[in-house]
Amino acid sequence: MAAQRTMTFGVVVGNRGFFPDHLAKTGREEIISVLKAAGARVVVLSPEESKHGAVETYAESQRCAELFKKHAEEIDGIIVTLPNFGEERGIVDAIRLSGLKVPVLVQATPDRSDSMTIATRRDSFCGKMSCCNNLMQYGIPYSLTTLHTEALVSAEFKADLEWFSAVCRIVKGLKNLRIGSIGARPAAFNTVRYSERIFETAGISIEPIDLSEIFGRISRMKDTDDAAQAKLAAIKKYVSTSGIPEGALLKMAKLGAVIDGWMKQTNVTVSAVQCWTSMEEFFGVVPCTIMSMMSNDLIPSACEVDVPGTLSMYMLALASQTPSALLDWNNNYGSHPDKCVCFHCSNLPKHFFAQAPTMDYQAIIAGTVGKLNTFGTCVGRVKAGAMTYARYSTDDRRGVIRGYTGAGKFTDDPLETFGGAGVAEIPQLQKLLRYICREGFEHHVAANFSDVSKAVHEAATRYLGWESFFHGQAED
């Protein structure tokens, strides 16, 4: 898997002169310490650039904005910290003048009930409301901590910082995203239709390539090609290939090498691939292992050219920094109303399996094109653990991007089947399934071993401007 991403936060320390400004000094020092302890980089005014390194006057707002501009490419999000009431105009002016369009978190440090003298009282409880009111007036989207006031060293703020970091990764990761659409949508899958134009309005571009071009590049590649041989070695290291014909493995290696080269050439980040049944009939393998390897490296790849599916996978991967899979909401699990079977053929990333997967043939499609043309699936049982699911796609009639997300878990309930499958348990599953059917969502869903649904929902609604249904407790 890819390395964890280091976050960079622009910090605005609020201060208001007729409140104790020594709290601004200690508040700045405290948030820098907390963020560095969390492994983040900090961009904040120094005490030489403003009083205590805080923002109060318009001149200080300008200096803060210029500092943020210098680090605009690095900054993932802005944290407003209120060690005292704070000058709301100074805070919002600094953010507006910076020109940054990143998530903003507002934190207020609590007063102590045994220390409410004129020399120590913060009033940040009240100041947070004024700050948020001004952010609203300026049209700057912002996020709130779980509690109205939270100490920077508290467990609550630590959890909120992890959540906010996930929000920031999603928003930044989707900025100018390019998705590779490899092959044509299978004719039988109307469910994966979507609007490129609606995605383009959200800054998400689709780069298509026909399978004939992929196969053509493969036909020109020698068996001894360095990229093909490197990919072949990577496949054998990634999954057990016992009993798989060497010729099929070499085809997969060439397919993977060509896709890697094309994605690099076109600056494509994630992909969706045509499989059913052109790949098998005219090339002789399934692309599952190649796609599994990409997804396992946090480069999601969805089958059936499900572009919205890979977008949803990528949102989860950005939030959790762990691999995502695309699954079918596929079967009931006996008579359990809150359990179901999630399944795919499978191209699930290795991260999803309880034990190391093995390569096999695709049992469903083999009946149509023959077993020898369907080697390449990654077969195994999905492990137990926390689960976040998500699906975002275009509503072409209304011209919007919409979706849903929520949390559940994969269980270790017994299940005898083929492909890649697991049992999912989701509170009020029947309500969710009814929502999916009533709203006409697809049967594909992205899944991830994490609990990042609140971050996905926050990013989608507050910063991306999408419609998002959160299945579970009510959100603000």
pLDDT tens across 18-38, in order?
788 899 999 999 999 999 999
Q: In which residue ranges of the chain is CATH 3.40.275.10 found?
A: 178-471
Identity at 459, one-letter amino acid code:
A
- Predicted TM-score (pTM) above 0.95: yes
pLDDT at 210 over 70: yes
pLDDT at 267 over 60: yes
Structure tokens at 270: 């994630």
Query: What confidence tier does 121 reach under pLDDT thresholds 50, 70, 90?
Result: confident
pLDDT, tens digit (0-9, with 9 covering 90-100), for 167-186: 999 999 999 999 999 999 99
pLDDT at 189 over 60: yes
Predicted local distance difference test score (pLDDT) of residue 434? 98
Kindly report the CATH class assigned to 178-471: alpha beta
pLDDT at 360 over 60: yes
Q: Is the dihedral of CA 242, 248, 250, 252 positive or negative?
A: negative
Predicted local distance difference test score (pLDDT) of residue 114? 79
Judge whether 104 and 141 are in contact, CB under 8 Å. yes
Kindly report the CATH class assigned to 8-174: alpha beta
Lowest mean pLDDT among 23-27, 114-118, 425-429: 114-118
Longest Cα separation, the chain: 82
Predicted local distance difference test score (pLDDT) of residue 224? 98
Predicted local distance difference test score (pLDDT) of residue 115? 76
Structure tokens at 328: 């079918």
Lowest mean pLDDT among 17-26, 63-72, 271-280, 285-294: 17-26
Predicted local distance difference test score (pLDDT) of residue 476? 59
Predicted local distance difference test score (pLDDT) of residue 390? 98
Predicted local distance difference test score (pLDDT) of residue 60? 98
Identity at 321, one-letter amino acid code:
Q
Q: In which residue ranges of the chain is CATH 3.40.50.10940 found?
A: 8-174
Distance CA 433, CA 225 (A): 48
Which of the pair, 277 or 422, is modelled with greater confidence?
422
Reported as type and span, the H/E element at residue 416 is none
Predicted local distance difference test score (pLDDT) of residue 441? 98
Query: What confidence tier does 1 reach under pLDDT thresholds 50, 70, 90?
Result: low
pLDDT at 85 over 60: yes
Distance CA 186, CA 174 (A): 26
pLDDT at 2 over 80: no
Mean pLDDT of the chain: 96
- Compute the residue count for the chain: 476
Judge whether 249 and 236 are in contact, CB under 8 Å. yes
pLDDT at 382 over 70: yes
Mean pLDDT of 265-274: 98
Mean pLDDT of 6-25: 92
User: How far is C-alpha 439 from the chain's CA centre?
Assistant: 23
Mean pLDDT of 135-152: 98
Contacts of 85 by beta carbon, 8 Å cutoff, 6+ apart: 14, 16, 19, 122, 123, 124, 126, 127, 130
Lowest mean pLDDT among 52-61, 69-78, 112-121, 335-344: 112-121
Query: What confidence tier does 475 reach under pLDDT thresholds 50, 70, 90?
Result: low
CA dihedral 130, 132, 134, 135 (to 10 degrees): 160
Predicted local distance difference test score (pLDDT) of residue 17? 78
Predicted local distance difference test score (pLDDT) of residue 338? 98
